[in-house]
Amino acid sequence: MLAPHHGSRSSSSPVLLNTLKLRWVLVQSGYRNRFGHPAPEVLARYR
């Protein structure tokens, strides 16, 4: 899955992730981006 909205805090709800049971998630992010995406909470959900 391509992570929605670069992995912002509101993206990829636990319900969505549990329903899809993904093996891989790709997160688009820039080196040292000013928004801090992907958010640590979202990375924890993906794990």
Q: From first to last of its 47 residues, what are the pLDDT tens digits of the chain?
A: 888 887 788 878 888 888 988 899 888 888 888 888 888 888 898 88
- Please report the pLDDT score of residue 10 as a whole number: 80
Q: Residue written as tokens 């928004």?
A: 35
Of 9, 36, 13, residue with least CA distance to 1: 13
Of 21, 24, 26, 22, residue with least CA distance to 38: 26
Which residue type, as a one-letter code, is found at position 36?
G
Model-level pTM?
0.69
- Residue ranges per domain, the chain? 4-46
Which residue type, as a one-letter code, is found at position 3?
A
